[in-house]
Amino acid sequence: MDPTLDTVFAALADPTRRSILTMLLEDDMAVTDVAEPFEMSLAAISKHLTILAAAGLIAQEKRGRVKWCKLEPDALKTASVWMQGFGQFEPVNLDAFEAFLERELGEDRP
C-alpha cells in the first residue's frame, strides 16, 4: 500500500478539510477567504491548510502580501485508482443467491 494514501485519507477524514477542498473547486482563494465561513481562528484554518498541503491536495503560494491556496487537480489520483480496484466486484443479489441455495439443497434432500 502506498504510504501517501494514508496521508491523503487522513487529510480527507476531517469535515472542515473536505469543505475547504469543495470551496477550492470553484477557484483559488486567499487564506483569509478560506477562513471566512468557518467559526475558528485563522491559526486553526492554517493548520488545516498545512495538512492539506502536506497530503498534496492543495498548493499554497504567496502573491504579494497575500497567501493563496489552490486545489491540486491530480492529488486524488492515487487514492482514486486504489478505490477503483474495489469497483470490480459486483454486489451480491441475495434473492438470487437464496433461490440458488434452495435449488441446490433441495435436490440433495430425500
> Domains of the chain: which residue ranges?
3-108
pLDDT recorded at residue 81: 81
pLDDT recorded at residue 3: 58
Closest CA to 76 of 89, 53, 57, 94: 57
pLDDT recorded at residue 98: 77
pLDDT recorded at residue 89: 62
- pTM surpassing 0.85? no
**Per-10-residue mean pLDDT, the chain, length 110:** 79 95 95 96 97 95 95 84 74 74 67
pLDDT recorded at residue 85: 79
The CA distance from 80 to 42, in Å, is 31
Q: What's the CATH class of domain 3-108?
A: mainly alpha
pLDDT recorded at residue 24: 95
pLDDT recorded at residue 61: 95
